[in-house]
Amino acid sequence: MILVPLHVLPDRFEEAVRGLKALTNFDGLVVTVPYKARILPFVDRLMPMGEKVGAINVMRRDRDGK
């Protein structure tokens, strides 16, 4: 696993996430403040705790591509 810090400006957030999701060799990301709640519309499945708190820390791609 390799972690690469990415600085995404708030007004480019949606564009950046769409671009990252389009990469076929990108398996996931760690989400930091202020984007923990803002990332939710981009996940295909949400774990129960993420639903409960309305935010996530990690987004990963499963084998099925979701």
The residues annotated as belonging to the active site are 36
| Residues in CB range of 1: below 8 A, 6 or more apart | none
Least Cα distance to 13 among 36, 66, 24 occurs for: 36
Q: Which two tokens stand for residue 58?
A: 């990690």
Return phi, psi of residue 39, to 5°.
-80, -15
